[in-house]
Amino acid sequence: MSGKVVIKFGGGLITDKENMCTPNLDVIDSLVDVLSKVEKQIILVHGAGSFGHMKAKKARLAEGRLPDLNQDISVREVREDMLLLNKYLTDSIQRYDLDYSTYPPRDWAIGTGPDFKGNLPLSDGITVVFGDVVNDYEKEFTILSGDDLMYRYATEIDDVDCVIFAMGGVDGLLKVPPSEATENDLFKTWSPDMNFEGKHATEFDVTGGIGLKVTRASMIAEKGIEVWLVNGMYPERILELIEGKTAIGTKIVSGNC
Ligand code: IP8
């Protein structure tokens, strides 16, 4: 088995973002079906979607401990909800009889952003990690996004030859708002000196939405690693990319290219 794939299943892809703690089970199965066909070592990161962002936003967990706010119940609930979402994924992985280990970041990561502390766990089977409520030296706790995990895995482990952010509802980065976009409005390649029209979803997303994804993807591309943003509702596109072909989606290239 040569080469490693680092892939994120975005929260907006694997959950129904409008309804609290609702998984998209058919989508999860279709994505795991793709993983079952991959002959490379896989690092799977998943986002939180409606299992994390709504409660985390209400209790302002990304800001850490705040006076006059009882956040303990929310810290506990979001952690439990994330384990539940993780279980929907790993149940599917088990149904496909794939080897895997899950490493909840609360157990090994401290802090947030690309420089969070902690040694990245790695398994011989599929390594599964996810955006989580983690401890923080200054703020007591905070939210670590799966996008930061993507950056660290993609750039710190050896032999990564493909990095994919699989999203829900969009084919990649668009030149116009998603509701107005035709297929001609998709950037086939994008570098940080170009603008894009991203629905940031601040009303929902506590970690930075598409903006954070694109920032971390650019940082990975800067190290010379191939990075793609694709629509995970078409899982065959993921397989095409892993097999070294091109697919409908946006390839992020470094600003230096
Ligand atoms: O969806 C956020 O992770 P992301 C994690 O990957 C929580 O940004 C708990 C909101």
Among 13, 206, 212, 214, which is best to mutate for testing ligand 1, by the most ligand atoms less than 8 A from CB? 206
Mean pLDDT of 165-194: 90
52 lines ligand 1 (CB under 6 A): yes
Q: pTM for the complete prediction?
A: 0.95
Identify which has the larger pLDDT, 181 or 82: 82
pLDDT above 80 (res 220): yes
206 lines ligand 1 (CB under 6 A): yes
* Cα 228 from Cα 251, distance rounded (Å): 5
81 lines ligand 1 (CB under 6 A): no
* Cα 150 from Cα 157, distance rounded (Å): 11
Pick the residue whose CA is nearest to atom 1 on ligand 1: 47
Q: How long is the chain?
A: 257
What percentage of the chain exceeds 70 in pLDDT? 96
Mean pLDDT of 147-176: 95
User: pLDDT by residue (tens digit) across 104-147?
Assistant: 999 999 999 999 999 999 999 999 999 999 999 999 999 999 99
pLDDT above 90 (res 51): yes
148 lines ligand 1 (CB under 6 A): no
56 lines ligand 1 (CB under 6 A): yes
